[in-house]
Chains A and B, each alone.
Chain A
Amino acid sequence: MDAILLQILNGLDKGSAYALIALGLTLIFGTLGVVNFAHGALFMIGAFCAVTLQRVLNFSYEDVDESQKDFLGNALKVKTPYVEAWFGPEFGGAIIDWAVPLAILFAIPIMIAVGFIMERGLIKHFYSRPHADQILVTFGLAIALQEVIKYFYGANPIQTPSPEALSGVANVGALIGMDFVYPVWRIVYFFFSVVIIGAIFSFLQFTTFGMVVRAGMADRETVGLLGININRRFTIMFGIAAAVAGLAGVMYTPINSPNYHMGMDFLVLSFVVVVVGGMGSLPGAVLAGFMLGILESFASMNEIKSIIPGIDQIIIYVVAIIILLTRPRGLMGRKGVMEE
């Protein structure tokens, strides 16, 4: 029983990442009609915002310690981060320890800027071009972006630990009278994604801006005819979508050490999520994200793998095929959107 509950938790956790990425993809597709293959790269750039902040906070000066030797037998240079020197080891250390959550503040403006530049510089020229061109140009952009990151940060994963206080495990089983533990940071990640998703939905639902965007998603031409500058709003939506992907990346870093190709690893999956949820449907993307996360977790259980060998390798695709064949507009897709 607790094994199943644990896998549900795992699924929700994986699903959080899928849902956040798919949400951004859907926002872009729904508003701009652009298939953005560089969305995974935005997730990756977000993660590297955390890495960068961690590096910046760890900028150090060196003291030569004659009593210790380095690997060549010279005197060891002991590094002390400036932050610790300025704010004292205690407070400075705490700042470094909290690098990942702090990176959220750092990442939001950067990701929005990246989104603006991408949209204004490149994407806007592709609104009326065929999907194939959009795929090609954003795919090229994704390759270029990840190579740039690799050039500066190397190919190996870089550890970005969660704050000491939020690492370790919590006995979540105790809440329901059972005994099993779950990592604290993963719980944080789940709630974080719920907050972000909630914020996006209420933004679209309860603000005038959101209302216009929703109207634009439904019928761009008419909104334009009403004299509303829909393009500017769409640019802003692109920035927001980039920020959502970036924040998902920032918070993901303690779960898995980020590397330059983590975006590509998520890209195919997030497209499957979007299609299963229904192209252009925001609730669909979120629902499909969590659903596929949970299914994936269950499929990796030994009991299920012993019945169908290799099911964990293909479950996502099997689900996608079944959904597409039986319900082409996806779980919550509106009739007529991209149905052809």
Chain B
Amino acid sequence: MFGLENKDIRMLLVVAVLTLCAPFILNPFPTDSALAQFNAGYPDLMQRFVIFGIFAVGFNILFGLTGYLSFGHAAFLGVGSYSAVWMFKLLSMNVVPAIVLSVVISGLFALLIGFVSLRRSGIYFSILTLAFAQMSFNLAYSVLTPITNGETGLQLTLDDPRILGVSATADGSIPVTNLFGIEMRSTYEMVVGPWAFQFNAGYYLCALVLLAAFYLSIRIFRSPFGMMLRAVKSNQQRMNYTGLNTKPYTLAAFVISGMYAGLAGGLMASMDPLAGAERMQWTASGEVVLMTILGGAGTLIGPVLGAGFIKYFENIFSKINDQVLHSWFAFMPDGLEDFVVFVVHPFIGKGWHLTLGILFMLVVVFLPGGLVEGGQRIAKWVKTRKGNDDETPGKTTPAE
């Protein structure tokens, strides 16, 4: 099916089920329970999960396959967002032209930067991409304000032309982004007992795009082109000595992953039509590196997991404040409650960065292969345990 091996089809199906059922999976706790704090199944965060998933999958095509560590990938995401918002301003609120343009523009941008940066490898390549991205950020924040609207971010206004649409709706507000009439923000709500599940049109668009992007990345991983990229990673010199020019391959990988980033940026702007310069900052590039490595670089599903993990952290952990903590530990005696809150306090809410930093260290130290390796280890452990369970009765019985 789809020209894939069975193993890959299984993985694709897993991702499909995970994304399409996300509104259920991410909302495991009843709305009124204290644990509802940990629910992540609301449209904005689900959209972010898949959008950053796309971003990380694209990044992994470059980093996971060729080993080239780009520290400037956020620039492509930013360029994609800006192009999409300009499309909304000038053409129409339909997301299709916006997303197409953002992919094209970021692809061109990636071609330019990739062509220059790929003349070097290793840490020099990283610094080159970092330099380009920081330049883009600094200029977008200040000198290029007419195009980017600087600090405030590029936003839609009531007097945008929108040639194929309306500048303002009948009731005097800015029209909303849509896919041939389906509003991206429209949400169906389903209440099952104490649970509330939200199905958002924009999320499902993103989810479908993610599936397509994921499928494409499987195809790339399994193709001769992917083999070539892996060969570059393992020994570029040898490739060169065999008389093969590797640059077209690495450049193609760079441009493809830049287009993935642009796609993510375009989707992001389609869900929420605003593009801010800080999307391009080097810390944002660092974030996608972290997502990929955290999830497991070079694996297919790792980046998606890593993206989900970090975004969950950023959006859920930062919202736990002392008030919430006290309500959790209210069952404890007063003194103990205060003490527990005092101990937990530095790590949550405004301290979520600290937890994140410590987690990175733990994961890198103990799980070099990222979350995927963690999963594999658990699977292996379960398997061997099962094996032991079968054996133990046989071994212990005679002793009795």
Q: Are B120's CB and A325's CB within 8 A?
A: yes
**Interface code A301-325, partner B: CB below 8 Å = 1, 0 otherwise?**
0000000011001101110110011
Chain A, 279-332, CB within 8 A of any chain B CB: 279, 309-310, 313-314, 316-318, 320-321, 324-325, 328
Which residue of chain A is the closest to B364 with respect to CB atoms?
Answer: A137
Contact partners of B293 in chain A: CB under 8 A: 132-133, 136
A176 to chain B, nearest CB (A): 35
| Further 12 A-B residue pairs, CB within 8 A, beyond A135-B289, A340-B121 | A125-B365, A129-B368, A131-B122, A132-B289, A133-B368, A139-B290, A139-B360, A151-B351, A275-B123, A320-B128, A328-B124, A340-B120
Q: Which residues of B contact A309 (CB under 8 A)?
A: 143
Given A136-B290, A147-B354, decide whether A310 and B139 contact each other with a Cβ distance below 8 A: yes
The answer to whether the Cβ of B131 comes within 8 Å of any Cβ in the partner chain is: yes
Q: Are A317 and B354 in contact, CB atoms less than 8 angstroms apart?
A: no
- Whether the Cβ atoms of A137 and B143 lie closer than 8 Å is no
CA distance A142 to B356 in the complex (A): 11
A139-B360, A151-B346, A275-B127 known; A325-B143 Cβ under 8 A: no
- For A317, give its contact among B121, B132, B289 (CB under 8 Å): B132
Contact flags (1/0) for A135-173 with B, using CB distance below 8 Å?
111011111110110010000000000000000000000
Size bin of chain B's contact surface: 35 or more
Nearest residue, chain B, Cβ from A311: B143
A133 touches B364 (CB 8 A): yes
Q: Which residues of A contact B365 (CB under 8 A)?
A: 122, 125, 137
In the complex, which residues of chain A have a beta carbon less than 8 angstroms from the beta carbon of B122?
131, 338, 340
Q: A-facing mask of B349-385, CB < 8 A → 1, else 0? A: 0010110111111001100100000000000000000
**A122-B361, A268-B134, A338-B123 known; A144+B128 contact, CB < 8 A:** no
Known: A147-B353, A313-B142, A338-B123. A321 touches B359 (CB 8 A): no
Task: Please name the 5 residue pairs, one residue from A and one from B, whose CB atoms are nearest each other, closest first.
Answer: A140-B360, A143-B357, A144-B357, A310-B143, A147-B354
Q: Do the beta carbons of A140 and B353 come within 8 Å of each other? A: no
Chain A interface bracket (under 10, 10 to 19, 20 to 34, 35 or more): 35 or more
CA A133 to CA B364, docked complex, whole Å:
7
Interface residue from B63, B131, B132, B357 paired with A272 (Cβ < 8 Å): B131
* Contact of B116 (CB < 8 Å), options: A272, A325, A340: A325
B residues in contact with A22, CB < 8 Å: none
Cα distance A340–B131 in the bound complex, in angstroms: 20
Contact with A along B16-56 (1 / 0, CB 8 A): 00000000000000000000000000000000000000000
Task: Tell me whether A35 is interfacial, beta carbon within 8 Å.
Answer: yes
Task: Give the shortest distance, in Å, between B219 (CB) and chain A (any CB).
Answer: 25
Q: How many whole Å from A237's CB to the nearest CB in chain B?
A: 20
Tell me the bound Cα distance from A179 to B76 in angstroms: 50
Interface flag for A271 (CB, 8 Å): yes
A324: B residues at CB distance < 8 A? 120, 124, 127-128
Q: Which residues of B contact A279 (CB under 8 A)?
A: 123
- Do A35 and B346 touch (CB < 8 A)? no
**Assembled-state Cα–Cα distance A143/B351 (Å):** 11
A246-B69 Cα distance, complex, nearest whole Å: 29
Contacts of A147 in B (CB 8 A): 351, 353-354, 357
B97 close to A (CB within 8 Å): no
With both chains docked as a complex, state the minimum distance between the C-beta of A329 and any C-beta of chain B, in angstroms.
9
B167 to A: closest C-beta gap in Å: 32
Chain A residue nearest to B122 (CB atoms) is A340
A-B contacts, 9 listed (Cβ < 8 Å): A143-B356, A151-B354, A268-B282, A271-B130, A272-B127, A272-B131, A310-B143, A318-B135, A320-B128
Cβ-defined contact, A139 with B142, below 8 A: no
Distance of B326 from chain A, by nearest CB (Å)? 20
In the complex, chain A residues whose CB is within 8 Å of the CB of B116: 321, 325
Of A140, A271, A275, A317, the residue contacting B358 (CB under 8 A) is A140
B153: CB under 8 A from chain A? no
Contact B143 A144 (CB under 8 A): no
Decide if B358 touches A144 in the complex (CB within 8 Å).
yes
Most buried by A among B122, B131, B297: B131
Give me the interface of A with B, judged by CB distance under 8 Å: 35, 122, 125, 129, 131-133, 135-137, 139-145, 147-148, 151, 268, 271-272, 275, 279, 309-310, 313-314, 316-318, 320-321, 324-325, 328, 338, 340
Which residues from chain A contact B361 at a C-beta distance below 8 Å?
122, 137, 140-141, 144
B143 A140 Cβ-Cβ under 8 A: no
Knowing A139-B286, A139-B360, A338-B123 are in contact, say whether A314-B353 is a contact too (CB < 8 A). Answer: no
- Min C-beta distance of A338 to chain B, whole Å: 6
Closest chain B residue to A320, Cβ basis: B131
**Please, which residues of chain B bring their CB within 8 A of the CB of A275?**
123-124, 127
Which residues from chain A contact B124 at a C-beta distance below 8 Å?
A: 275, 324, 328, 338, 340
Report if B155 contacts A (CB, 8 A): no
Task: Tell me the residues in window 238-278 of chain B with beta carbons closer than 8 Å to chain A beta carbons.
Answer: none
**Residue of B120, B139, B356 touching A328 (CB-CB under 8 A):** B120
A residues within 8 A CB of B357? 140-145, 147
A129-B368, A143-B357, A338-B123 known; A321 vs B286 contact (CB < 8 Å): no
- Does B187 count as interface, using CB distance less than 8 angstroms? no
How far is it, in angstroms, between the C-alpha of A309 and the C-alpha of B121 when the chains are bound? Answer: 31
B198 contacts across to A, CB distance below 8 A: none
Interchain nearest-CB distance for B125 vs A (Å): 9
Cβ of A125 to closest chain B Cβ, rounded Å: 7
- Cβ–Cβ contact B364 & A310, under 8 A: no
Q: Roughly how many angstroms separate A137 CA and B359 CA in the complex, as a whole number?
A: 10
B360 touches A136 (CB 8 A): yes
Q: Does B149 contact A (CB under 8 A)?
A: no
> Which of A35, A136, A151, A314 makes the CB contact (< 8 A) with B139?
A314
Given contacts A125-B365, A313-B142, contact A137 B360 (CB under 8 A): yes
| Residue B318 lies at the interface, judged by CB distance under 8 Å to chain A | no
Q: How far is the CB of B231 from chain A (nearest CB, A)?
A: 16
Q: Chain B: which residue is nearest A29 at the CB level?
A: B123
Chain B residues, Cβ within 8 Å of A145: 357
> How far is A317 from B75 in the complex, measured between Cα atoms in Å?
15
CB of B139 within 8 A of CB of A313, answer yes
Cα distance, A96 to B236, chains bound together (Å): 59
Whether A317 lies near B134 (C-beta < 8 A) is yes
Beta-carbon contact of A310 and B142 below 8 Å = yes
CA–CA, A35 to B365, complex, Å? 16
